[in-house]
């Protein structure tokens, strides 16, 4: 509700996200991309339509902020919220190795850089052993070099774990760097879909073919 009037954030959205791949929801601020992600996570309810997810699918959510518990060390932050799901020390060690923080299991969040904190947030999402990971601009607050490193880390983890990742961003370069499918959202609608599965990682976003895709995306966002 804005000024007492109802405004539709999403309109006639009909989209299917491929399994075991990185799907990117790309759009300007306020276009409805985060709302779409939150509906998929059942954090918000849609007024009409439906979301179809298999009943056996487990979903994890990674927010823009790491949202770590400041009083817990890394190892305990990773297992936070898993009371009903057992995870042993070997599995925790494997996750620490996977995110490249093996020597930091006893460190506290304030002792970690922003990129390291997001690695812990990603490990916490993976500890739940989800089939789907929803990520809401998780690297937006990071500097350029850390952001690029985290993008590569996400690709590597996805290739190892074969998860379905739905990743929200407003950065065209980030979308092209990591996305196997890019869904362009503009004014609450899916305006276009770009399939980049044929482009191997790591990608050169300055290559002529990817620059052409960037131009096409900009046209759809105009």
Give the Cα separation of 192 and 199 in Å (integer).
Answer: 18
* The residue count for the chain: 222
Supply the pLDDT for residue 85: 62
Supply the pLDDT for residue 70: 96
Specify whether 169 is located in the same domain as 79: no
Tokens of 77: 């932050």
Specify whether 39 is located in the same domain as 135: yes
62 in a domain, yes or no?
Answer: no
Q: How many structural domains does the chain have?
A: 2
Q: Above 60 in pLDDT, residue 5?
A: no
- Angstrom CA distances, 131 to 54, 141, 169, stand at 10, 26, 21
Specify whether 150 is located in the same domain as 221: yes
Q: Above 50 in pLDDT, residue 2?
A: no
- Please state the pTM of the whole predicted model: 0.92
Q: Across the chain, what does the average pLDDT equal?
A: 90
Give the Cα separation of 75 and 87 in Å (integer).
Answer: 11
Q: What is the average per-residue pLDDT within 41-70?
A: 89
Specify whether 219 is located in the same domain as 143: yes
- Asked if 18 and 180 touch (Cβ cutoff 8 Å), the reply is yes
28 in a domain, yes or no?
Answer: yes
Specify whether 139 is located in the same domain as 114: no
- Angstrom CA distances, 107 to 53, 71, 90, 94, 114, stand at 37, 10, 18, 17, 14
Give the Cα separation of 58 and 112 in Å (integer).
Answer: 29
- The residue range of the domain holding 110 is 68-129
């Amino acid at each position: 509700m804005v000024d007492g009037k109802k405004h539709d954030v999403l309109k006639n959205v009909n989209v299917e996200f491929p399994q075991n791949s990185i799907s990117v929801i790309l759009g300007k601020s306020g276009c409805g991309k985060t709302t779409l992600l939150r509906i998929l996570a059942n954090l918000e309810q849609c007024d009409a339509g439906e979301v179809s997810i298999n009943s056996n699918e487990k979903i994890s959510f990674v927010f823009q902020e790491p949202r770590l518990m400041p009083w817990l060390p890394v190892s305990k932050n990773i297992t936070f919220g898993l009371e009903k799901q057992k995870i042993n020390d070997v599995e925790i060690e494997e996750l620490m190795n996977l995110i490249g923080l093996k020597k930091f299991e006893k460190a506290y969040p304030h002792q970690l850089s922003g990129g390291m904190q997001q690695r812990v947030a990603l490990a916490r999402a993976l500890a739940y052993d989800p089939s789907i990971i929803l990520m809401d601009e998780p690297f937006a607050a990071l500097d350029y070099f850390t952001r690029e490193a985290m993008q590569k880390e996400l690709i590597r983890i996805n290739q190892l774990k074969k998860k379905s990742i739905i990743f929200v961003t407003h950065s065209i370069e980030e979308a092209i760097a990591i996305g196997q499918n890019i869904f362009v959202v503009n004014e609450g609608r899916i305006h276009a879909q770009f399939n980049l599965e044929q482009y191997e990682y790591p990608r050169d976003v300055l290559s002529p073919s990817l620059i052409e895709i960037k131009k096409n995306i900009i046209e759809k966002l105009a």
